[in-house]
Structure 1
Amino acid sequence: MAGAPVSTTAPDPQTPKRPENPAPSQEKARSIFSDRNFILFLVGQCITTQGLWIQKIAMSWLAWSLTGSAFWTGLIAALNFAPAFFLGPIFGVMADRVDLRRTAMLLNLGQATVSFVLMGLSYAGMMTLPWMIMLAASMGILGSAMTPIRLSLVPVIVPREFMSRAVAYAAMNFNISRLVGPAVGGVVIATWGTGAAFMLNAISYLPMVFVISVVTIHQDRAPDAKSRRILAALVDGASYAIHHPMIRSVLALSCFVSLVGTGMIELMPVFAEAVYERGVTGLGMMASAGGIGAVASTFMLSRVKSNAADFQRITIVGAFAAAIGMFGLGWSPWYELAVGLIALTGFGLTAVGVGSQTALQLTVDNKLRGRVMSFWSATSFGGMALGGTMLGAISEAGNIQYTARGSGILILCAACAGLWRLYRIGASGRRSAPSSDAVQ
């Protein structure tokens, strides 16, 4: 009752506080939709990721065309991500101490160069399996170095309080490209060959180089670990991640789901050709279906409040969805049903990937951001790489649909374990709530 008279009889003291109520929505709109920095970054990323998905489907199709082997197809796909597992943490330390703008420009130019080499070899008819292995590994090394740089760029472009929306919209952009890129790539490969697909990807890096050169970087929000040696800084980051319960849980779940879930998605060329006999156009449709599910997932994530615990719960929901989609794919006798199940799987895998990334971004200490996010990229992309190779070898020895069923069961077990752990943490928090309130 005391609150009401204050607001009516003393309007002047309340006047400065009234604008603060609508301010968050206005500030969010300015930060995400009107801020020059973020719009430039989003447009540049959109162009680059379109080319990335076009090249990705070209690499998978070329590997399958050259070898007819699920193992080699999985290995070539894995080489695009395996370096993140082994070198990602080191690149994360470097991301905490290098000039983000200059490094991002150099890495994008390096990736464009590799794509131009792929284009030249394809047009010359000189592409061989050893060339593919070497160039896929080169692209993987550059990409694993770029990932912690890219993840560290978002916080220095937008304010921390709007980071969850920034990550969600960037992920939606990425997954819209995942929707469009494979379909475009399938048409390009069928019409002009893989060389044209590699050329489009090479050109797509150039707009991003321009964007990074003109965007404003807020150095005051950039990580700073220059005072520590590389090994000591790496140990600090690892210790922080291991001893932080939420970070440890999120990293474990994203790693396992990437290993047995996303790794399976890397074998879509085998499903398209060996199981359903639909060729490269069928592969493009299946990849685009996964993109539709991913876009729906990122749209859902963009509506979630900036709360790390909520995003952690979403990763578990996503794991359940991916498990159902993957298990169903292992039984599907019809191509059309398989496309729908891949969309469900894409929804779930994206909820795990983007949800875990956002939960970490909202939790991690800014001084350790590059290192912790490199652990996320190492577990996510490294798990995808190792999973693609492992599942490809298993599928080579048996039936790929049996492998998909096994993957679905394993993801379901991981989701149940994550749900049980979350329940235990919640129960523990409820028991300790009175004591924590007393301390406050």
Structure 2
Amino acid sequence: MAAIAGAPRRGTLSAFRHRSYTIFWVGALISSTGTWLGNLTVPYVLYQMTGSAVWVGVAAAAQFGPAFVLSPLGGSLADNRDRRMLLLWTQAGLGVITLLMWLQWASGFHVPIVLVGLLTLFGILNGVNNPAWQSLVNDLVPREDVVSAVTLNSLQFNLARALGPAIAGVLLATLGATWAFFFNALSFVIVVVTLFFVRPHISRILVPVGGGFASQWRDALAYMARSRAMLLAIALCCVVGLLGNPIFTFTVVFAETVFETGPVGMGMLTASLGVGAVLFAIFQSVIRGRGGSFGRRAATAVVALGLALMVMGLVPTLGWGIAAGLAVGAAFLAAFATLNSAIQLMAADHLRGRVMAARHMVFSGSIALGVLISGVLAEEWGVQLATIIFGAGLIVVAAIVVLVPGLGFRLLDEAEVEPGAIVPPLDPET
């Protein structure tokens, strides 16, 4: 068993000291901004066509659901192939699919089921893409900068969550949905170009993993099952996806039915979620790792997210909705970045792709289930009550983790040690 050693952490911005990571981050920011153009445009046009929150939920489930099935394949590929080359192929494929969305809308063929079908294809390929994306983040920096890299990766996604909807709101109000779809497709070109200039911090040795796909996943699942800390972190990611993520899809319904505002107001409301995340990242940079242990940060973030969602469900005006959105965005990033960092640090390198695939699988599956449930609840009882129920659910889960013997958020503090000290890696040759 490896000796326990500290996992040193630097400031939130320390990963930017590495050129390849910085290039990757900028390309990802541009691509994610384009993706959020699409993420707001799709539910907007669907709600305009159908007037149904259920259709909005079905579209989100189509985008995230396939990852539940395909993430294991993506994880195995991420562990057995060059992650950068794998991303070049998957990002190019995702760009082609978004180009087809633009062509569908530009041609006037405005059929909801066709748009949902293209989203399903996007979700299928993204299920293969995401484990490699998450794992490559680790490859671009040394271990002491992993927490910074993961947090900044979440930051760029949430910064895009602020920029993309704001741009989408203006585009939808002025030029229309066609241009929003076009810029989404164009953004994928940027990330493909940046990947040509990215090089890992340390070259990975691709160790052949014997036994085939099923055997590889038996080893990975056995590895994860030996750590209550890793299982708890993955389970909490699932809960955050199930109960915390649907608000990002249903801002469209809030804007239309609660605040009675147009595309610009809808864009501002959705953007507030991303702005809140950016403000939290700045706060993290200021305190520079003085926010306590992984367990304490995770507990605080999950409870804060639950409270913020409950407030979001109670506010009566757009202004107060934007203020609540800032709190939701900050708490969501705090929860997700903390849990994701803990999982990344606990995973051994030769198994990290499969571990992150398992995390992505349960997270994406929980998002798909959450938006479906939220869509039905919003249709029957209203989007405000649905949001309050989900927020209360997060607080209940946090209480269960604290009160059930053998659990406790303090288990996540195992991420402070070297991988293998708590969960010895399985022999990669077996």
- TM-score higher than 0.5 here? yes
- Partner in structure 1 of residue 425 of structure 2: none
- Partner in structure 2 of residue 196 of structure 1: 179
Gaps of 5+ in 1: 1-23, 430-440
- Partner in structure 2 of residue 136 of structure 1: 119
1:97-135 superposed Cα distances (whole Å, 9 cap, x missing partner):
122122111111111111111111111110211111110
Q: Which amino acid aligns with 2:233?
A: V
Using the TM superposition, give the Cα deviation of residue 286 of structure 1 relative to its aligned residue in structure 2, in angstroms.
Answer: 0.9
1:295 is aligned to 2:278: yes
Change (3 A) 1:211 1:387: same
| Equivalent position to 1:385, from 337, 348, 368 | 368
- Partner in structure 2 of residue 103 of structure 1: 86
Specify which structure has the higher proportion of helix: 1
- Partner in structure 1 of residue 5 of structure 2: none
Change (3 A) 1:46 1:424: closer
86-95 vs 358-367, which moves further? 86-95
* 2-structure distance, mates of 1:268, 1:380: 20
Percent of aligned positions that are identical: 28
| Equivalent position to 1:284, from 267, 271, 274 | 267
- Partner in structure 2 of residue 11 of structure 1: none
Contact 2:14 2:148 in 1 (8 A): no
Change (3 A) 1:363 1:134: same
Change (3 A) 1:375 1:423: closer
Equivalence map 1:247-326=2 (5 Å): 247-302=230-285, 310-326=293-309
Equivalence map 1:287-436=2 (5 Å): 287-302=270-285, 310-420=293-403
Using the TM superposition, give the Cα deviation of residue 245 of structure 1 relative to its aligned residue in structure 2, in angstroms.
Answer: 1.2
Contact 2:306 2:392 in 1 (8 A): yes
SS of 2:245's equivalent in the other structure is: helix
1:20-65 superposed Cα distances (whole Å, 9 cap, x missing partner):
xxxx99x989963342211111111111111111111111111111
Using the TM superposition, give the Cα deviation of residue 77 of structure 1 relative to its aligned residue in structure 2, in angstroms.
Answer: 1.6
* 1-structure distance, mates of 2:205, 2:119: 31
CA RMSD of aligned residues (A): 2.5
Using the TM superposition, give the Cα deviation of residue 258 of structure 1 relative to its aligned residue in structure 2, in angstroms.
Answer: 1.2
Q: Which amino acid aligns with 1:164?
A: V
| Length, aligned pairs only | 404
* 1-structure distance, mates of 2:388, 2:352: 36
1:121 is aligned to 2:104: yes
Q: Which amino acid aligns with 1:368?
A: L
Give the TM-score normalised by structure 1: 0.86
Using the TM superposition, give the Cα deviation of residue 344 of structure 1 relative to its aligned residue in structure 2, in angstroms.
Answer: 1.0
| Equivalent position to 2:131, from 148, 161, 181 | 148
* 2-structure distance, mates of 1:223, 1:282: 49
327-336 vs 294-303, which moves further? 294-303
Change (3 A) 1:395 1:370: same
Query: Whose relative contact order is higher, 1 or 2, with alpha carbons under 8 Å and at least 6 apart?
Result: 2
Using the TM superposition, give the Cα deviation of residue 375 of structure 1 relative to its aligned residue in structure 2, in angstroms.
Answer: 1.4
Change (3 A) 1:158 1:187: same
Contact 2:291 2:297 in 1 (8 A): no
Contact 1:258 1:380 in 2 (8 A): yes
243-252 vs 212-221, which moves further? 212-221
Change (3 A) 1:221 1:273: same
Q: Which amino acid aligns with 2:144?
A: E
Give the TM-score normalised by structure 2: 0.87
Gaps of 5+ in 2: 1-7, 414-430
| Equivalent position to 2:57, from 74, 79, 82 | 74
SS of 1:74's equivalent in the other structure is: helix
Change (3 A) 1:223 1:194: farther
* 2-structure distance, mates of 1:128, 1:197: 17
Using the TM superposition, give the Cα deviation of residue 412 of structure 1 relative to its aligned residue in structure 2, in angstroms.
Answer: 0.8
SS of 1:127's equivalent in the other structure is: coil
